[in-house]
Amino acid sequence: MKEVTPEQYAEALDRHKDEVYHIALKGWQMPILHELITLAADHRGVKKLGWPTKQLITQVRWWCREKFREWGFSQEEVEYLDKVKSKPPMNIEELKRIGLYKDKIEAADGNLTVLTKDERQDLQALLAKWLAESEEG
């Protein structure tokens, strides 16, 4: 793979900085863009970047909010959509922990007291997450 030097990149950016680009999105892609830009805006590395990045994020979020308004959502609903983030699905480690707790409980003939207080709280949180996901899907 051929490397691009910082100088090459800076020169290309300087030559094209005032060009205007357009992107065409299908309706189903706009919420994905909105979610991605919302997640990016919350990333600690992105938060440290300067005004050009923050200006772009603001511009994309504004555009997405306008599209939501065109879809018929009220201003309050658009504000809600702008704040809400998708919850990540359960990962393999969470599923393994549920399996471990299940095995411990079964080995104790269904007695939950075999789990420590922390394990019971963890299992409760994992099951609540699983239940929320199953209700959404």
Which carries the bigger pLDDT value, residue 119 or residue 42? 119
pTM to 2 decimals?
0.55
Contacts of 130 (CB under 8 A, 6+ apart): 90, 98
Q: What is the pLDDT of residue 5?
A: 94
Round the CA-based radius of gyration of the chain to a whole number and report it: 23
Q: What is the pLDDT of residue 66?
A: 94
Residue corresponding to tokens 């950016």: 13
Q: Cα separation of 66 and 106, whole Å?
A: 53
Which carries the bigger pLDDT value, residue 119 or residue 83? 119
Per-residue pLDDT at 132 exceeds 80: no
SS3 107: helix
Mean per-residue pLDDT, 102-112: 86
Per-residue pLDDT at 10 exceeds 90: yes
Q: Cα separation of 25 and 39, whole Å?
A: 19
In the chain, the amino acid numbered 134 is S
Q: Where are the domains of the chain?
A: 6-83, 92-136
Instruction: For residue 15, name the pLDDT band (cuts at 50, 70, 90).
Output: very high
- Which DSSP state fits 86? P
The separation between CA 2 and the C-alpha centre of its own chain, rounded to angstroms, equals 32
Instruction: For residue 135, name the pLDDT band (cuts at 50, 70, 90).
Output: low
Mean per-residue pLDDT, 40-48: 81
Per-residue pLDDT at 102 exceeds 70: yes
Q: What are the b/e assignments for 101-135, b being 16+ CB within 10 Å?
A: beebbeeeeeeeeebeeebeebbeebeebeeeeee
Please write the tens of the pLDDT for every residue from 64-98: 999 999 999 999 988 888 777 655 566 778 878 88
